[in-house]
Structure 1
């Protein structure tokens, strides 16, 4: 008895649209750099502490982050929208490694700022002069 897979049909396997979309997403994410747990677009350049220059324009950078961090799991908040300046904050709800991302455009340049989490932002300080215990 011949099964469907063993048939001599001449048409080839046709990729499903979902599979193609997942492969595209994987290919986009695979070349990305991860800094402090936050993903950066491929080609980003470091310009300062936790600050990076994005290789694409503002809308393309936001599209990249929509594919990496879904809007349902990572809420967005518009920070500024003035002539010449746009800024969006992406919240990391877990707060693990980083608190969020600020993506902003100013002077025809798109920058990404990784907002450190509270744990990483404040180093633990030890008291310099510990008080001796009181004698009774």
Structure 2
């Protein structure tokens, strides 16, 4: 009695080199990226302020990177600004964990990335207790 695992069919399997190479290249490009507050930044991004980074490439290259890291089907995008000299896109983080989203914008021939931090939940205010009226110390009223 022979089992399927004992057959020689598995010895002649050849993996597709192109598919393996593409997956390895994508994984390597994403694996070296920096993560800030849960948001992934392109390799070579430089910090320029609090939650603000300068991307190493142009807007198209940066958006291609984010199409791989945060697919448009799962991470909605919307144009924030589209004026001469300024282009901006907001990528929403639907999970709401660690960061609200990313603002990617191009101005003055450089691309910046702003990691939108989570907004602190407003503190629930407890209703104020009504103030008690001050009672006179003696039980009797004075005449």
Short-chain TM bin: 0.7 to 0.9
Distance 1:73 1:18 in 2: 24
Describe the shift of the 1:18–1:105 C-alpha distance in structure 2 as closer, same or farther (beyond 3 A). same
Q: What's the CA shift string for 1:23-57, capped at 9, x where partnerless?
A: 12210111100000000001100000000000011
Cα RMSD of the aligned pairs, angstroms, is 2.7
Distance 1:38 1:6 in 2: 43
Aligned length: 126
Counterpart for residue 103 of structure 2? 102
Counterpart for residue 136 of structure 2? none
Which runs of 5 or more residues in structure 1 are unaligned? 125-130
Describe the shift of the 1:135–1:109 C-alpha distance in structure 2 as closer, same or farther (beyond 3 A). same
Distance 1:95 1:107 in 2: 31
CA-CA distance at 1:134 after TM superposition: 4.1
Describe the shift of the 1:41–1:2 C-alpha distance in structure 2 as closer, same or farther (beyond 3 A). closer
Q: Alignment partner of 2:114: what SS?
A: strand
Please tell me whether Structure 1 or Structure 2 has the larger radius of gyration of its CA atoms.
2
TM-score (structure 2 length as normaliser): 0.76
